[in-house]
Amino acid sequence: SIPKLTFPGGCLIGCSPGFMNVPKIKGTHNAMKSGMLAAESVFDLVTDEEKVSQSPTAGLEPVKYEENLKNSWLWKELHSVRNVRPSFNTSLGTVGGVIYTGLFYWIMRGKEPWTLHHGGPDNAKLKPAKECKVIDYPRPDGVVSFDLLTSVALTGTNHDHDQPAHLTLMDDSVPVNHNLAIYDGPEQRFCPAGVYEYVELEDGSGKRLQINAQNCIHCKTCDIKDPSQNINWVCPQGGEGPAYNGM
């Protein structure tokens, strides 16, 4: 699941590339190590006068970073747990994933000579609404479970009302004609902050997708899970988003 880690002018470090050890649910040490390796790689690059002098404007790509990463203990650790999460997607289900993890990770430390795969991107796994059973969730009781907007309020998220939009659609017709028609509007379910909702048109002729961008807590689920890949999530202007002041 780890993407290409370098590009002209920068590289992916920390938590963003997916350096978490899944069975241990720990990744801070890996994030820190990737930052250290990136710093060493970038330093070697910017102090190379021959490469720096080639162009005053072209971004330098620290390709050595990925090589250094693969030669470190970080890569060795991630390689040992590479099959843990995909093992839960097999025909054996959750029980099979637990058994696989216990046998091949905790006992063999990930030394199996094969690598399992997820079988396609996450957005392609969504089933049409007609193939699924409607789930009738109980109402939040305010003690153990809470309504969505109350939970959003606890994040302390904030965006200026007049900021440039950080959530846009590539095609405004896709949400209603495709996502709502086939998948019953998954945007209104997979977003944990109520950013997306389908509302009735004023003339009663149908529905439209309304985006409440001010509620966004920057999880990027929409960018990843949207079955039509029609939502474009970009970083909002600096300093805005969730604050989690009470944590």
Quote the pTM value.
0.71
Average pLDDT over residues 139-168: 88
Q: Whole-angstrom Cα distance, residue 22 to residue 116?
A: 15
How would residue 56 be classed by pLDDT, with cut points 50, 70 and 90?
Answer: low
Q: Whole-angstrom Cα distance, residue 156 to residue 32?
A: 27
- At 87-117, the pLDDT tens digits run 888 887 888 888 888 888 888 888 888 888 8
Q: Whole-angstrom Cα distance, residue 66 to residue 215?
A: 36
Dihedral sign of CA atoms 8, 13, 16, 19 in order:
positive
Q: Give the pLDDT of residue 111.
A: 85
Q: Whole-angstrom Cα distance, residue 233 to residue 202?
A: 28
Q: Which residues pair with 233 in a beta bridge?
A: 167
| Alpha carbon 171 to its chain's center | 22
Q: Give the pLDDT of residue 121.
A: 86
